[in-house]
Amino acid sequence: MTATLEKFFDQEIEPTPLCGNCEYFDGGGMQPNGTWMHLEGDCHNSESGRFQTNQGQTCNKFFPCSTRWPDADHG
């Protein structure tokens, strides 16, 4: 699936800090066109202070998705 998503994301650029771009967002997976199956989802980051979120929200514990942005600053 990574090969399909590579054409939708520039892996060298830091992504917008939205929940949908975060390593911990679970929105049911992505469709082949790069959009989420569901806009609502769960946050699996225990430090975020929330459990349910949507792909357009953000928090101060954002961590870029390592599958879509393997070269982004993850530190």
Helix (H, G, I), strand (E, B) or coil at 42: strand
Pairing of strands 40-43, 52-54: antiparallel
The residue length of the chain stands at 75
Calpha distance 57→73 (Å, rounded): 20
pLDDT at 75 over 90: no
Q: Regarding predicted confidence, which is higher, 74 or 25? A: 25
Q: What is the pLDDT of residues 4-60, one digit of tens each?
A: 444 445 556 778 899 999 999 998 888 888 778 889 999 999 999 889 999 999 889
Q: Quick one: tokens of 71?
A: 């070269």
Calpha distance 51→11 (Å, rounded): 27
- pLDDT at position 12, please? 61
Closest CA to 43 of 61, 62, 26: 26
- pLDDT at position 56, please? 93
Q: Enter the pTM of the model.
A: 0.74
Model confidence band, residue 73 (pLDDT cutoffs 50, 70, 90): low
